[in-house]
């Protein structure tokens, strides 16, 4: 599975150390992985799409009880309470306060690399960039509520660490940073990664994006800004459309040069 999402991109000079004499370079998506509402992987997601199943579920009952303004529908991803901290070389204290996005991005990054037919250990020391699109950080706001003490809370909720933690775990030597461009954060991350590979700043890249809902307050404010659908159906481009439904999602792509891709 190799998806060519980019026309041939002209290289700038000879910045690409591994392929300096090649004037043009194609960048492809060679691996992908995602957590979708009610789905643990893309295969399950595809099956539900083919069967026309509904991904929208009922809202957190506690949210609705304490905050009547919360919309009764949402899309929820499974397994937020599960994480193998030891495998990803994260101290258990840090894992307790680590951003949910960071934990799930790590897992999906592993899956995307495997999906590309590459062993994660083979990337050690390689020029692989990490570009993660991420908007609201709800975990950081929870620190004010629970008054967590110690350094782990600060490191666990730092936006920079969402990308840097992947680079550290895999010992990657490429650029590594989060991108907050609101609703288009992930597509901006994809564009920056494509350019980084094309212009020789890295030889491959991990791109991720996520939305995890941990508190009702942001949900309430979004509803005030753009009313959500009262019946749990978006009905996009329909004359009967009445709003949208928010959903959780964690997605990761692995980008490589065409000649390096195995799938």
pLDDT average per 10 residues of sequence, the chain (263 residues): 46 41 64 93 94 84 70 84 86 79 91 96 96 77 59 71 91 92 88 89 93 80 78 85 86 92 83
pLDDT at 15: 43
Task: Evaluate whether 249 touches 36 at the Cβ level (below 8 Å).
Answer: yes
Beta bridge partners of 210: 250
Domains of the chain: 3-36+77-213+248-257 (3.40.47.10)
pLDDT at site 245: 83
Residue 190 is predicted with a pLDDT of 93
Q: How many CB atoms lie within 10 A of CB 212?
A: 21
Residue 86: CB partners within 8 Å, gap ≥ 6? none
Which spans in the chain are helix H? 42-50, 61-66, 92-97, 100-115, 138-146, 151-157, 159-170, 185-198, 216-225
pLDDT of residue 146: 56
Those residues with Cβ within 8 angstroms of residue 73's Cβ, 6 or more apart along the chain or in another chain: 56, 57, 58, 59, 228, 229, 231, 232, 245
φ/ψ (deg, to 5) at 210: -155, 160
| Structure tokens belonging to residue 149 | 């003490």
The alpha-helical segments, DSSP class H, found in 8-131 are: 42-50, 61-66, 92-97, 100-115
Which tokens is 136 given?
Answer: 């609201």
User: What's the predicted TM-score (pTM) here?
Assistant: 0.83
pLDDT of residue 66: 72
Two tokens, residue 208 = 């991720």
């Amino acid at each position: 599975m190799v998806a060519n999402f980019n026309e041939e991109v002209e290289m700038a000079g000879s910045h690409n150390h591994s392929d300096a004499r090649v004037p043009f370079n194609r960048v492809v998506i060679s691996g992908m992985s995602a957590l979708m509402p009610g789905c643990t992987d893309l295969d399950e997601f595809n099956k539900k799409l083919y069967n026309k199943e509904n991904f929208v579920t009922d809202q957190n009952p506690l949210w609705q009880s304490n905050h009547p303004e919360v919309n009764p529908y949402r899309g929820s991803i499974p397994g937020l309470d599960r994480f193998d901290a030891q495998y990803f070389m994260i101290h258990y204290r840090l894992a307790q306060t680590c951003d949910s996005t960071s934990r799930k991005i790590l897992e999906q990054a592993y899956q995307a690399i495997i999906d590309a037919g590459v062993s994660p250990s083979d990337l050690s020391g390689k020029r692989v960039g990490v570009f993660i699109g991420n908007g609201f950080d709800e975990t950081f706001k929870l620190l004010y509520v629970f008054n967590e003490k110690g350094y782990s809370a600060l490191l666990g909720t730092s936006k920079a660490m969402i990308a840097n933690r992947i680079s550290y775990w895999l010992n990657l030597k490429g650029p590594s940073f989060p991108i907050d461009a609101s609703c288009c954060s992930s597509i901006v991350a994809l564009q920056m990664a494509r350019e980084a590979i094309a212009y020789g700043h890295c030889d491959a890249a991990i791109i991720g994006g996520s939305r995890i809902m941990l508190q009702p307050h942001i949900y309430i404010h979004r509803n005030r800004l753009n009313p959500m659908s009262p019946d749990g159906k978006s009905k996009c481009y329909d004359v009967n459309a009445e709003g949208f439904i928010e959903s959780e999602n964690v997605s990761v792509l692995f980008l490589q040069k065409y000649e390096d891709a195995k799938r």
